[in-house]
A and B are shown apart, each in its own frame.
Chain A
Amino acid sequence: MLDQLLAALTQYGYPALFVVVAIAAIGVPVPVTLLLIVTGSLAAQGAIGLWLAIAIATVASVSGDQIGFAVGRWGGKKLVAKFSWLLGDAEHIKKLDAKARSWGGAGVFFSRWLVTPLGPWINLASGAADYSWLRFTLWDVLGELFGAALFIWLGHVFSDRVQQVGAIFGDLTWAILAVLVAAFLGWKLFFGRHPQ
């Protein structure tokens, strides 16, 4: 599928960028980091405009995030549980309810670009946990704008090595996620209280 998405991006430019980034933000597992890096390379080649690409990627991802947030908010917990099979189990989303409140803006901001696999979860959980829409949107726009600018700029700078840069960032994202999981489990193991 990645091949088709990259081909569409190369051939159709902006419309493909918008659609792919939006569906990734909704929760369809698409390696959006690589797509943004390829977009940066296309901008370096003059096939598309750098600033317009950043703007479109930001608008697309914020739109997708808003859909996720709305599903969590208006669909209620039942609907979240129904659709959560796309992302994991409903139990995990329940746990994220509390996390979304405690992490607040930082959780939304960092899940937009640093630990992107968590992004769709945070959207659903923020909506379901009645997190303030205004605050969510503010941090969402900031995070997505930063993420789009960062990865498209990286693709622009390393435009002749997009696959390698994409692979490095893909691995780094998973490494950071694994560090966070290890820190959380370590904390639970050594300091946490657990059910009997």
Chain B
Amino acid sequence: MAQPRHWTLVLVLGFCLAIAATFFFGYRAGRTARHYRWQDESIQPWMSVPFVAHTHHTRSELLFQAIRVPPNPRDHRPIREIARAEKLPVAELIRELHKAIENANPPGPGIVPPSGKAP
């Protein structure tokens, strides 16, 4: 049975889009996987201080002290809520956490990432 021209066009277009989407998402997944070792987990407002301490291999007490909150490993409040309670902008709290992490884990000579640029 002959296919109507517009139907074939729709199928070809959909087929090409699906192929493009496969490459796009496949490439993105591959790129993230390739940079896996060189990218630190970014600190997000939804994370709790113990969560940030775990992802950055730091002690949570150190981070609590850096943001002037009594250290408590059972304090699972998100950073956003701590910022609200302390009447501070979230970005400032995250900056202070970054600073504390950098002080606790000074960057070493490290390994060159796949792009050839420093992390």
By a beta-carbon cutoff of 8 Å, the part of chain A in contact with chain B is 3-4, 6-7, 10-11, 13, 41-42, 44-45, 47, 159-164, 167-169, 171-172, 174-175, 178-179, 181-182, 185-186, 188-189, 193-196
Contact = CB atoms under 8 A, between A and B. Distances in A.
Interface of B: 1, 3-4, 7-8, 11-12, 14-15, 18-19, 21-22, 25-26, 28-29, 32-33, 36, 39, 41-42, 44-48, 50-51, 54-57, 76-78, 80-81
B82 to A, nearest CB: 11
Contacts of A171: 25-26, 28-29, 32
B32 A164 contact: yes
10 contacts: A7-B78, A11-B78, A160-B56, A163-B44, A167-B28, A174-B25, A178-B21, A181-B14, A185-B18, A188-B11
A172 B28 CA distance: 9
Contacts, number: 112
A28 B21 CA distance: 23
B32 A168 contact: yes
A108 to B, nearest CB: 23
> Which of B3, B47, B51 neighbours the largest number of chain A CB atoms within 10 Å of its CB?
B51
Contacts of A159: 54-55
Given A45-B54, A171-B25, A185 B41 contact: no
A179 B77 CA distance: 41
A47 B76 contact: yes
Nearest to B1: A193
A10 B46 contact: yes
Contacts of B22: 175, 178-179, 182
Contacts of A178: 18-19, 21-22, 25
Contacts of B42: 163
Contacts of A181: 14, 18, 21
Contacts of A3: 44-46, 80
B54 A41 contact: yes
A187 to B, nearest CB: 10
A186 B15 CA distance: 6
Contact of A182 (B18, B39, B77): B18
